[in-house]
């Protein structure tokens, strides 16, 4: 579709449910793509997966205050709803759900969803409260629309694990689909926060992916995961990264230290480059 | 119905959902009555409300380990599934969902639902972790069956408030119905834990309801809630109760101290009598 009118934008849960009820009455399957806006090709890959897998696709656009720490970038997080609406329209979505904060969190909202263990390590350790914010809002988004399937990027791999776990644990009747990370030609994973990089930092940024890809390859060949992680940290520092929050090889499902080499593993990393905190991951 | 075969008992979420899907396909509405078994007339009033309000009624029977403290009565909590199955059959229920602990909590279950504030005061203060256990299992039970309506007793008034709040906060598309407390002729609220009372304690137990009913009447007439609560504590101690955990007059929805006399209020109390901890509440 080119040049057509943008898809319908819905602001309230009641309106969202009215629309979904009509689709359900017509026997249509529904895919959900939760986003915080500032859409890039990575998000559009999620939309395309949903469009390909379901009769109707809902994209949600909500910058969730509960998952930002007090010193994080909630206030300056990039927002451009009109641009995002155009992008998802062209990608084939059917509805944009863009609620205000009060619609999602009434003033006396008091309930949190917490995933112990999986939500407390790695990103959870470096960003206290982050996964409780994510788990709570994702639970809500899933229950507001009760789609057949919801799509999340592997770029935020730990988030995907947390969401799979809470969906199973709370018996939410929705299937969770992970979608492969979309990368620039030089390997940098697409991220809304890449906009924070200067030109010089942007030139360095692909070293993150290059380095963890090498770790994955070496560990796959039987090299020691801890030695490889330490090598990667040194590499990143030499390339110009600031603090390296972690580079680690983990069990791909539990995200515990990967001790059993026969089980699927994942290399995960988070490191600062200027004002941007970059995260990435690859399969071993 | 007398003497007929008992209703179907289902052990797995998959079987439960199969049965519900058939009912849904036939356009039937569904009521859910979550219980921990050890059923009495109070539970049967919930079942009757569900049978009267919905086409099909599911009773769940699950003694939830997550809501018992380490020194509480999980191990000795009364269990008699056959008796309970007979009772709910005669009350008109259509299905008994009685899962094992592993079906509800797989070994790597890691997700908790917590209601801040409302779940931390009163019972939450005296039974740490209790409402997180309740909120988590009720979220799961609601999402396993997604009934039109779920029924809970006003006997556990704070629990009812917590459940209403989490259902709204997480956008669970289920309506929560509160059902009036069923009492013995002498006023004692029915409770599975009344079985712990000796004959002598049983004779004293109705003083709890009598006392808080007087508090409600006096506060309704304009008397000071704190003075009345103190009077009630003294009354209970004189009657032979042990520790009085609280007697308090609260806003009927938020359970905060009732400061605005124009808003609905509730008198809530918890007190020990021998080995039994009795709770009760009445409207002002």
pLDDT in tens, B67-87: 999 889 899 898 999 999 999
Q: Are residues B31 and B57 in the same domain?
A: yes
- Tell me, yes or no, whether B163 lies in a domain: yes
CB count in 10 Å sphere of residue A125: 11
- Tell me, yes or no, whether B135 lies in a domain: yes
Q: Are residues A206 and A157 in the same domain?
A: no
pLDDT in tens, A216-229: 999 999 999 999 99
Q: Is B109 a catalytic residue?
A: no
B172–chain A nearest CA distance, Å: 6
B43-66: buried (b, 16+ CB within 10 Å) or exposed (e) per residue?
A: bbbbbbbbbeebebbbbbbbbbeb
Edge to edge, the sheet with strand B276-283 lists B244-251, B265-273, B276-283
ipTM of this complex = 0.95
Q: Are residues A20 and A143 in the same domain?
A: yes
Mutation site for A-interface testing, chosen from B99, B110, B158, B256 by largest number of A Cβ within 10 Å: B110
CA distance linking residue B254 with residue B143, whole number of Å: 25
Q: Please tell me which residue of chain B has the smallest CA distance to A172.
A: B143
> Domain ends where: B179, B202, B218?
B179
Q: From the candidates A43, A109, A114, A209, give the one annotated as an active-site residue.
A: A43
Mutation site for B-interface testing, chosen from A140, A170, A174 by largest number of B Cβ within 10 Å: A170
Q: Are residues B170 and B242 in the same domain?
A: no
- Say how many domains are in chain B: 2
Between positions 96 and 115 of A, the ones with CB within 8 A of B are 106, 108-115
Helices (H), A174-206: 199-204
Q: Are residues A144 and A198 in the same domain?
A: no
Q: Given pLDDT bands bounded at 50, 70 and 90, which one contains residue B180?
A: very high
Between positions 29 and 48 of B, the ones with CB within 8 A of A are none
Q: Given pLDDT bands bounded at 50, 70 and 90, which one contains residue A4?
A: low
- Tell me, yes or no, whether B109 lies in a domain: yes
Q: Are residues B196 and B72 in the same domain?
A: no
- Tell me, yes or no, whether A157 lies in a domain: yes
pLDDT of residue B146: 98
Q: Tell me: pLDDT of B101 over 60.
A: yes
pLDDT in tens, B246-266: 999 999 999 999 777 788 999
> Domain ends where: B120, B154, B179?
B179
- Tell me, yes or no, whether B255 lies in a domain: yes
Region A139-152: what's the mean pLDDT?
98
Q: Given pLDDT bands bounded at 50, 70 and 90, which one contains residue B1?
A: very low
pLDDT of residue A2: 46
CA distance linking residue A133 with residue A113, whole number of Å: 8
Helices (H), B99-224: 101-104, 123-126, 130-145, 157-169, 199-204, 207-220
What sign has the CA pseudo-torsion B65, B71, B76, B79? negative
CA distance linking residue A253 with residue B101, whole number of Å: 23
pLDDT in tens, A232-271: 999 999 999 999 999 999 999 999 997 777 889 999 999 9
Q: Are residues A89 and A118 in the same domain?
A: yes
Edge to edge, the sheet with strand A56-61 lists A8-10, A95-97, A56-61, A30-35, A149-153, A175-179
CA distance linking residue B136 with residue A111, whole number of Å: 11
B142–chain A nearest CA distance, Å: 9
CA distance linking residue B154 with residue B266, whole number of Å: 11
Q: Are residues B209 and B149 in the same domain?
A: no
Q: Tell me: pLDDT of B44 over 70.
A: yes
Q: From the candidates B43, B114, B126, B209, give the one annotated as an active-site residue.
A: B43
- Listed in sequence order, the residues at least 6 apart from B81 whose beta carbon sits closer than 8 Å to its beta carbon are B9, B37, B61, B98
Residue B93 maps to which CATH number?
3.40.50.620
Residue B259 maps to which CATH number?
3.30.1300.10
- Listed in sequence order, the residues at least 6 apart from A118 whose beta carbon sits closer than 8 Å to its beta carbon are A124, A131, A158, A161, A162, A165, A254, A255, B110
pLDDT in tens, B204-244: 999 999 999 999 999 999 999 999 999 999 999 999 999 99
pLDDT in tens, A66-120: 999 988 989 989 899 999 999 999 999 999 999 999 999 999 999 999 999 999 9
Using alpha carbons only, what angle is made at residue A149 by residues A147 and A152, rounded to the nearest 5 degrees? 115
- Tell me, yes or no, whether B51 lies in a domain: yes
- Tell me, yes or no, whether B187 lies in a domain: no
Domain assignment of residue B130, given as a range:
8-179
| Token pair for A87 | 């992008």
- Tell me, yes or no, whether A218 lies in a domain: yes
> Domain ends where: A153, A179, A205?
A179
Q: Are residues B99 and B144 in the same domain?
A: yes
């Amino acid at each position: 579709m080119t040049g057509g009118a943008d898809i319908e934008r819905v602001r309230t849960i009641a309106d969202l449910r009215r629309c979904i009820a009509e689709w359900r009455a017509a026997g249509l399957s529904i895919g959900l793509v939760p986003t915080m806006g500032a859409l890039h090709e990575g998000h559009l890959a999620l939309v395309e997966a949903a469009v390909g897998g379901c009769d109707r696709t809902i994209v949600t656009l909500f910058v969730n205050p509960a998952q930002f720490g007090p010193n994080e970038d909630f206030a300056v997080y990039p927002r451009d709803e009109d641009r995002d609406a155009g992008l998802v329209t062209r990608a084939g979505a059917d509805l944009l759900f863009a609620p205000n904060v009060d619609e999602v969190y009434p003033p006396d909202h008091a309930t949190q969803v917490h995933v112990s263990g999986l939500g407390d390590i790695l990103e959870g350790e470096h960003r206290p409260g982050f996964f409780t914010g994510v788990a709570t809002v994702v639970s809500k988004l899933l229950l507001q629309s009760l789609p057949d399937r919801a799509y999340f990027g592997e770029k935020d791999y730990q988030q995907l694990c947390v969401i799979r776990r809470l969906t199973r644990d709370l018996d939410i009747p929705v299937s969770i689909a992970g979608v492969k990370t979309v990368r620039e030609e030089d390997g940098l994973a697409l991220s809304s926060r890449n906009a924070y990089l200067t030109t010089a930092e942007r030139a360095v940024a692909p070293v993150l992916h290059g380095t963890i890809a090498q770790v994955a390859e070496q560990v796959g060949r039987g090299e020691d995961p801890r030695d490889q992680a330490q090598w990667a940290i040194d590499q990143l520092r030499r390339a110009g990264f600031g603090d390296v929050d972690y580079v680690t090889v983990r069990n791909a499902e539990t995200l515990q230290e990967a001790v059993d080499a026969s089980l699927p593993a994942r290399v995960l990393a988070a490191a600062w480059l200027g004002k941007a905190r970059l995260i990435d991951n690859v399969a071993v």
